[in-house]
Amino acid sequence: EVQLLESGGDLGQPGGSLRLSCAASGFTFSSFAMNWVRQAPGKGLEWVSSITSSGSIIFYAESVRGRFTISRDNSKSTLFLQMNSLRADDTAVYYCARGLGGNLGRNWFDPWGQGTLVTVSS
């Protein structure tokens, strides 16, 4: 069974840092693009970042560019999101999702992890 399990969500300080992880199982992780999508409380879905299977190409949403860094360790089937310079509007559930559909910028998402909650507050 294909599974994604996020961890690392926590209460973070404005201006602080958090690192999210997403452990994958049930598929050949190194063959698929991966993505982060977030959802603020009571709001809709917002794409955050995508990374190719090799890690050679990365995209970011404008709202996180320069503050967040996506990376992956294919030897450990794990995806990461390093979140720096946290702001209150980064408060959200963060989902990792496998990318399907060819080129990185053409991805749809399946499956999704269960999500991990990041709260940014002093």
Partner 1 sequence: DIQMTQSPPSLTASIGDRVTITCRAGQSISSYLHWYQQKPGKAPKLLIYAASTLQRGVPSRFSGSGSGTDFTLTITSLQPEDFASYYCQQSYSPPLTFGQGTKVEVK
Which chain residues interact with partner 1 by CB under 8 A?
35, 37, 44-47, 50, 59, 61-62, 95, 100-101, 104-115
In angstroms, what is the minimal distance from the CB of 102 to partner 1? 9
In angstroms, what is the minimal distance from the CB of 36 to partner 1? 11
Residue with Cβ nearer partner 1 (80 or 95): 95
What is the Cα–Cα distance from 115 to 33, expressed in whole angstroms? 18
In angstroms, what is the minimal distance from the CB of 35 to partner 1? 8
In angstroms, what is the minimal distance from the CB of 72 to partner 1? 18
Q: Output the furthest CA–CA distance in the chain (Å, rounded).
A: 41
Residue with Cβ nearer partner 1 (35 or 78): 35
> CB burial class (10 A; 0-12, 13-18, 19+) of residue 98?
buried
64 CB-near residues (< 8 Å, 6+ apart): 48, 49, 83, 90
Which residue is associated with the tokens 């959802």? 39
Token representation of residue 103? 């080129």
Residue with Cβ nearer partner 1 (82 or 117): 117
Residue with Cβ nearer partner 1 (14 or 108): 108
